[in-house]
Amino acid sequence: MLAGGARRRIAETGTECGVGLAWLADGAGPGVELLSVEQDPARAKVAADVFADVPQVRVLCADWTEIYAHAPYDLLVLDGGGQAKGNGAADPERLLEPGGVLVVDDFTPSRTWPPSYAGRTDTARLHWLAHPALHTVDLPLAADLSAVVAVRRTNL
């Protein structure tokens, strides 16, 4: 659904075998380019083969930081690196167009402030919710799943 709002470019970190990327490609309008990076060579090859006949989709075998070289994006899905969960936090001011959308999923719903997980402050989720360059919401999608969706502020 969010891919449908992209005008020019979409990126994803962590392609795995390309399932999420297929949804993004299906939702994106004509002319929108998609880039996905996967650090595992075997997974990157599987995904690249899946999209071999889809010229607007590119899969690179690389660390997530490779997305900086092709920014900015209208939609960025952080699913393997850059989520502020341990291997760095992506910089939305460098990676997103003003008004661009960021998605980070696989959180556990939390009703506390600051958000918590396993009895501790969830610093990854707090990073996005408190980010000065973003308007961010934490959307509970299931009993055990929430997703952070953020829009880059346009008044910076």
Ligand X SMILES: C[S@@+](CC[C@H](N)C(=O)[O-])C[C@H]1O[C@@H](n2cnc3c(N)ncnc32)[C@H](O)[C@@H]1O
Residues that bind ligand X (CB under 6 A): 12-16, 19-20, 37-40, 43, 63-64, 79-81, 87
Cβ proximity to ligand X, 20 vs 92, nearer residue: 20
Min dist. Cβ of residue 76 to ligand X (A): 12
Beta strand ranges found along 39-144 (DSSP E) = 57-61, 73-78, 96-107, 116-117, 120-121, 134-142
Cβ proximity to ligand X, 40 vs 121, nearer residue: 40
CA-to-CA distance for 112 and 6, rounded, in angstroms? 32
Min dist. Cβ of residue 127 to ligand X (A): 17
What residues have CB less than 8 Å from 52, skipping those under 6 apart? Answer: none
For strands 145-152 and 57-61, give the pairing: unpaired
Cβ proximity to ligand X, 130 vs 139, nearer residue: 139
Cβ proximity to ligand X, 2 vs 121, nearer residue: 2
Q: Residue with structure tokens 């008004």?
A: 99
CA-to-CA distance for 80 and 153, rounded, in angstroms? 24
Min dist. Cβ of residue 22 to ligand X (A): 8
* Closest residue to bound ligand X by CB: 80
Min dist. Cβ of residue 13 to ligand X (A): 5
